[in-house]
Structure 1
Amino acid sequence: MSAADRVDPVGIDELLERVRRTYDRIEPGAAYEAARAGALLVDIRYQALRTRDGLIPGALVVERNELEWRLDPVGSHRAAQATSHGLRVVLVCNEGYASSLAAVSLHQLGLHRATDLVGGFQAWKAAGLPVVPA
């Protein structure tokens, strides 16, 4: 029997609960203030959603499948903004689900100040925070 066979499977809802207990998530207003104070907002939504709904001004766009490579501060494919493991990162997906799993992935790379936006881009927009057309 392999190690994978010995792991008890969990559903996605339980997995989200588990990972979200490992860090503090951030509400839209607090994310806006964090960005003003120097946190890096990272929009991980795919192109069709950005085109449909717009962009958060100043957010770094990195689609989810490239996230770890672009934000690893010691990686060979890092974005210029990925300056240190101490960087405060706020991940933004569409509704705040994929970003939770992505935040934990960044924690595994040593980015322990990474978090995600509760409710994602839709909550940001509903809060009346700045959005520009894509």
Structure 2
Amino acid sequence: MSGHGIEEMLVRARAGLERVSAREAWREVRSGAAWLVDIRPSGQRAAEGEVAPGLAPLVVERNVLEWRFDPRQEVALPGVAYDTRVIVMCQEGYTSSLAADALRSLGLSRATDLVGGFAAWRGEGLPMARSASDRPA
């Protein structure tokens, strides 16, 4: 058998990233210096919560991330460029490391991820959207 285990892939991906804390991500996004990209599936966002809409988080599920962020593709997001600062967020900060590494492989040299993912964001008490369970009936 050949190839690399997921742990080795994760270590290699993170070696090329300057990962950011939830507070650092919040500051960058709030100032307009970075795009925050939530790659979690809709069910997970519904169950766990989301970043407040006022911070303009982008929801781009993992299965289409590279297509939406490759400036050479017709389906790329408007405004995406090789120098775009992208902070990828998953639930706990594992899948986002692999995803940010994939974006760097496409040429987005400023892509990184959020240490601890959305769980860290929530744990820091950073702005969140009201979830369905928080809304009055």
1:10 CA displacement: 2.6
Q: Do the aligned partners of 1:41 and 1:90 also contact (CA within 8 Å) in 2? A: yes
1:17 CA displacement: 1.1
1:81 CA displacement: 4.3
Q: Name the structure 1 match of 2:11.
A: 17
Per-residue CA deviations over 1:51-94 (Å, capped at 9, x if unaligned) read 11221121000000010111112311012242x11000000001
Q: Name the structure 1 match of 2:122.
A: 125
Q: How many residues get paired?
A: 127
- Structure 2 residue runs of 5 or longer lacking an equivalent are 132-137
- Establish whether residue 26 from structure 1 lines up as the match of residue 20 from structure 2: yes
- Name the Cα RMSD after superposition: 1.4
Q: What is the CA–CA distance in structure 2 between the aligned matches of 1:121 and 1:81, rounded to whole Å?
A: 25
Read off the aligned partner of 1:62 and give its amino acid letter: V
TM-score norm. by structure 1 comes to 0.89
Alignment CA distance shift 1:36-1:110 (3 Å): same
Question: Where do residues 1-134 of structure 1 align in structure 2 (5 Å cutoff)?
Answer: 8-38=2-32, 39-57=34-52, 58-82=56-80, 84-133=81-130
Q: What is the CA–CA distance in structure 1 between the aligned matches of 2:130 and 2:66, rounded to whole Å?
A: 26
TM-score norm. by structure 2 comes to 0.87
- Structure 1 residue runs of 5 or longer lacking an equivalent are none
Q: What is the CA–CA distance in structure 1 between the aligned matches of 2:96 and 2:17, rounded to whole Å?
A: 12
